[in-house]
């Protein structure tokens, strides 16, 4: 896979679980990375239900469906680059915190939203 290794998406409690990421999501993520031209550091990819619970993820988190990542982001310039790239390639669900940006392609949830943590 271009730009990423499957292990980067692993749930920390289950080696190999990064394989559960959905191809349509990865395709969009790779396109966003290509557009951004900066490294995307994944702080959370796929999550088992147990891991999701441990990190305080919401019930039915898009991470447990393999259609979400959190990307490390601590400064305003990086934040702008990542968000612009995500929107450019069609992501419509973005969450912003002071430490990371969540992007997902969960078609079972409301679209065209940007939220804060
Ligand atoms: Zn997330």
Mean pLDDT confidence for 7-21: 98
61 CA distance to ligand 1 centroid (A)? 8
Which pLDDT value is given to residue 57? Answer: 93
70 CA distance to ligand 1 centroid (A)? 5
CATH 3.20.20.140 at 6-116, yes or no:
no
Which pLDDT value is given to residue 107? Answer: 96
11 CA distance to ligand 1 centroid (A)? 12
Which pLDDT value is given to residue 41? Answer: 98
Helix (H, G, I), strand (E, B) or coil at 45: coil
Which pLDDT value is given to residue 88? Answer: 98
Per-residue pLDDT reduced to its tens digit, 23-71: 999 999 999 999 999 999 999 999 999 999 999 999 999 999 999 999 9
Mean pLDDT confidence for 94-107: 97
Q: What are the structural domain ranges in the chain?
A: 6-116
């Amino acid at each position: 896979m271009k730009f990423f290794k499957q292990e980067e998406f692993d749930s920390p409690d289950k080696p190999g679980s990064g394989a559960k990421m959905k191809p349509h999501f990865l395709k969009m993520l790779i396109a966003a990375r290509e557009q951004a031209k900066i490294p995307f550091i994944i702080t959370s990819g796929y999550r088992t239900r147990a891991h999701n619970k441990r990190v305080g993820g919401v019930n039915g988190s898009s991470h447990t469906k393999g259609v979400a990542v959190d990307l490390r982001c601590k400064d305003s310039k990086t934040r702008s680059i990542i968000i612009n790239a995500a929107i450019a390639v069609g992501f419509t669900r973005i969450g912003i915190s002071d430490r990371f940006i969540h992007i997902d392609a969960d078609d079972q949830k409301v679209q065209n939203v940007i939220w804060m943590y």
